[in-house]
Structure 1
């Protein structure tokens, strides 16, 4: 059984590269966040101040995968 992931909303605070961002979680923790494979393939770009949904694993709370903008619907 795969371990459950944790989804949270994060605020993008810095652009570090084409697919890498620094983000801040609601509790104030700063993390590194990278685009998910579908967003990378779609050449998605985000800017500072946008709120995104991120996925963290229970093993590493310092990095996360960006899944989508907070207001957008999940891809099916």
Structure 2
């Protein structure tokens, strides 16, 4: 029954085991630098405070910091998927 439900929703068991990923929309960044203040290990900034980190996979341990950074970004540059 559950497998049938997942296939209807377009989710498979493989999707549930996929690693978490940070996705960044650089065009929206205004240089507030809140992401790097909260999670410097996940976000690198240029000299003007704009995020230059590319989208990447993150560990389960980094997920809370990534989610917090996404939440506090006023421009909604960051999304966490997985």
Normalising by structure 1, we get a TM-score of 0.26
Greater relative contact order structure (CA < 8 Å, 6+ sep):
2
Larger Rg: 2
Bigger share in strand: 1
Bigger share in helix: 2
Normalising by structure 2, we get a TM-score of 0.25
